[in-house]
Structures are given as structure tokens and as C-alpha cells.
Amino acid sequence: MLFTATATGFAPALAPAQSFNNGPVAGPATARLPTLGDTARADLSPVVERKLGEAIMREVRGDRDYLDDDAIAEYLNNFGGALVDAMPGTRGETNADFSFFAVRDGAINAFALPGGFIGVHSGLLLAAQTESELASVVSHEIGHVSQRHIARMLGQQRQDALLPIAALILAALAAKASPDAAMGVVMGGQGLAVSRQLSFSRDAEREADRVGFQIMSAGGYDTSGMVAFFKRLQGATKVYGEIPAFLSSHPLTSERIVDIQARIRETPYRQRPDSIEFHIAKARARVLQDLSTTGRRDTRTTLQSQLAQQHRQQQAAAQYGLSYLSLKEGDLPGARSWYDKARTTLRPKEGTFSATPQSDGGAMFAVLDLEIKLAPGQPADVAQQAVKDAEQAVYRYPLSRALARQYADAMINAGRLDDATRYLREQVRQYREDPKLYDLLAKAYSKQGKIALQHMALAESYALAGALPAAVDQLNFARKASDVSFYEQSVIDAREREIKARQKEEKEEEKER
């Protein structure tokens, strides 16, 4: 799939990268990442790099294989964010904002985009046998971003050449469903020239390995997971005769493995147990990987075989997955039954140390509990109970964006529209870049019969998605609504001017291409 072709983004052919010395790896307390010089920073500003990444992400989010699952996204961002924060200097001189997301693709791969966006294939999540193995790949991608490998490649060209490169990449994403069309993009004219630059050099890969190694070590993960994962992929190549996507886009040499092994010998061994959230994220990804009739049948077989595992977390994750699969099939009693079994499996036995909310998958279990209660076909009393449960879940896990959105949806579902709009207005003030909040706000306004406000909220959602003409259309609908106030007319006029100015800027950029 074409996401594989763009894996590790826009892999640059670099000049020799600044590398670490060959001595022992410094411990977490003293290790510091290398700093790039002024040249790279001057050639490609962090603002332009981020803008390019955001433009690409707008296309990625619109792709049918973008895995838009709040629970998985939350796990990846908590997991990736903890890795970023574990190592001083990981955000670099640009203080990069990292964002992690998943794509539905069976290939074992991950990729970095300009500006700190890191994609994880569902195939990688399913193939990782331990959380340390997942950390090894995600840390490697963080290393590419931290060292600004993409920016350094693009910085070798004039900044006005960035958007044509972005246009090529977006065209490739758009052609994902047609391999022939995608090949035409890559092989034609400028595409061929760019494609020769889209593979990271060996120096860059070694540098990302070393930075990734330090990051996962500082995060407390088992660093041997990096070599274990690489070797297993190499073994798959020998058995099946096909090069796994990760090795194709991140060429693995014996020197890279030797280099990592040498660093492992200098690092004290640590065993890190996997979190239950890791196993739950895998279970959700397995269900969402293929929702066809055959896919659901295969998923059920796999999860049922996982029930035979002796490990409690594996059993609970399998039960969680079977609950989620039942929900997707519309079997609400089955979903509830499997959910209750998963909670029982994880419940500490009498006389043992009680698990904390952070270690029992509480937030992810709360998400599934609410998904079942908010599913179509539930009686009214269940909808009312969902509001109370969602309120408690948000109080217990205040940083969960998934639960915050479910709380709002539960209030709308239960007819508590004034409470829902009040809560959502507070949320959009705090999280202005969340289009789903505006969609929920539009839904609440619609049920209240507030047509002007409904279209104004939809305009914000479209603007965040980059659909500027649609956003202007929604503002025009709001302006013509029978219930629009004088104040709202003023807000609409001001917002329309802002969006049209952005449209004009984008058109000027297109002309420069």
C-alpha cells in the first residue's frame, strides 16, 4: 500500500549525518541528543516544516485507511509522548510537537512525516510481541524527527520547492487505491527525481537507531527488543522470501545490528512488563484490521485461541477484543458479556495487591463500556446511565480526549442538550484544533433547533479539516438562518474574512508551484 511507499516519510539522501561517538551510551541522567547546526535550521524553518506536515496530514485523515479510532490514537499518543519526554532534548531546537496516529495496513511499518507526525501501521502493532519491540520502532521514527532528517533533505532545496514536493506526495496518497497510477506519479519526470531522494541514507538510519536506542533506554524499555525485532523481520525475509516493509523502507545492514548489540552490552539489562493498554490496543487494531465477513471470522478465531494463553493480560485483551468485535457486529448482549469477563479476568484476586487505575487499562475499558451503552438499540435507561458513567470516567481520567467526547455524546444522547452545549463550548475553548468537538457541538445545536450555531460549528470543523470552500458554504448557511443574531452575523463576517484570506494565501502558493 502506498503508505508503505511513504514510510519513514520522505526519506532523504543526506550528507553524512552528525553521529554519536563510539563510546558507551550515556545513561538517562546524562545522555543528550546531538544538535544540528545553523545551516539546517536556516534552510527549512520549523514553521514551514510543520505546515508541510499538516498539509499532508489533512490528506492522510481523509484516506479510507486512516485508522480513526480514539482509543488506539490515545494509546499511541500517550505511549509516544512518554518516549519523547523520557529523553532531554528529544524535541530538539525547534521544540517539535509530536503527534502519533495509526493507519490500517497489514505491512509491518511505521513512518515519519515533516513536522513531527508519526504514523504506525496496524500491522506493526499486531506484529510487536512486546511493548519494548514497539518502542524500538517508534523511538527510531522519533529519532528521524528529532534529528530533522526530513528537514535537512528538504532544506537542501529552496523553500519554494517544498510545496511541489508536498503536491507529489499528496498525489501519491490520492492514488493509493490504484498502484498503476501511483507508479505513474513516482516514475514521471519530477517524480523520478524526487523518488531518488526518498530513502534515508545509511548514516541517517544509524543515527536514528542510536537516538532511538537512547530514547527507549531512557523510557525504561528493554533495549534488546530493538535487535529482537530486527532479527525476527530478517527471519521472515528468509522464510517467506519477501522483504518486510520496515526493512524495505529502513534498509537493515549487519553494521546496524552490530552497532546496536554493542550498545546493549554497555547497558544494564532491564525487564519491563507490557502494559495492559498495549494488549488492548492490539485487540482493537485486530478487530478494525478487516471488518469483512471473512475478516471478522478470522479475528474471532484468533482472539478465541488467545484465550488459552496463561497470561492474564493476554486473556483479558482477548475478551476485550471479542467484546469489541461483538459490538461491531451489533450483538450488544455478547459485547456486554465479554466485557464483563475481561474486567473479571483483570480484577486482582483476594489477598493480592490491588492494581492502580493506570495499570488496569481503566480508561480504555471505560471507552468500550461507553461505546456499548451508547450503541444504537440500547433502552433509554441505559442512555441515562451512560451519562453518569461518562461523568465519573472523565473525572477519573481527566486527560482522556476520547472520554471527553463520549461524555458530550452521552449527554446529547440522553437529551441533556443544554449541559452538552455548555460542556462542548468549554472544550473547544481549550482544544481549538479538535474537529470532532465541533461536530458534536453542531449535533447538539441541531437537536436544539439552533440552525445558525449548528452551521457555524460545522464551518469550524471543515476549516480544521482543510475544506475551506465547504467552511465558507457553512458560514453562508449560518448567515441566512432565520435564527441568526446580529452578534452572530458579526462573528460570521469576521470568520469568513479569515478563511478567505487563508484561501487566497493557498492559491498564491499554488501559483508558485
DSSP at 129? S
Interval 268-315: pLDDT, tens: 777 788 999 999 999 999 999 999 999 999 999 999 999 998 889 999
Q: Do residues 113 and 57 lie in contact, with contact meaning Cβ atoms separated by under 8 Å?
A: yes
Identity of the amino acid at 423: Y
* 331 domain residue, yes or no: no
Identity of the amino acid at 346: L
* 129 domain residue, yes or no: yes
From residue 236, how far is each of 129, 198, 230, 242, 253 by CA, in Å? 14, 25, 10, 8, 16
* 278 domain residue, yes or no: no
Q: Do residues 209 and 196 lie in contact, with contact meaning Cβ atoms separated by under 8 Å?
A: no
Residue 275 burial (CB count, 10 A): 18
Owner of C-alpha cell 512518554: 82
What is the domain-level CATH number for residue 486? 1.25.40
* 45 domain residue, yes or no: yes
Which three three-digit cell numbers place residue 304? 478465541
Q: Domain range for residue 424?
A: 416-513
* 397 domain residue, yes or no: no
Interval 162-210: pLDDT, tens: 555 555 555 545 444 444 444 343 334 343 333 334 455 667 788 888 8
Last residue of a domain, one of 248, 265, 282: 265
pTM: 0.82
* CA dihedral sign, ordered 11, 14, 16, 20: negative
What is the pLDDT, as a whole number, of residue 347?
A: 83
Provide the β-strand partners of residue 249.
none
- What does the pLDDT average to over 508-513? 64
* 176 domain residue, yes or no: no
d(CA 190, CA 167) in angstroms, rounded, equals 11
Last residue of a domain, one of 265, 298, 314: 265
d(CA 385, CA 368) in angstroms, rounded, equals 14
Residue 329 burial (CB count, 10 A): 15
Q: How many domains does the chain have?
A: 2
What is the pLDDT, as a whole number, of residue 263?
A: 80
Last residue of a domain, one of 223, 241, 265: 265
d(CA 166, CA 110) in angstroms, rounded, equals 19
Would the pLDDT of 213 be above 90?
no
Sequence length of the chain is 513
Owner of C-alpha cell 524527527: 145
DSSP at 164? H
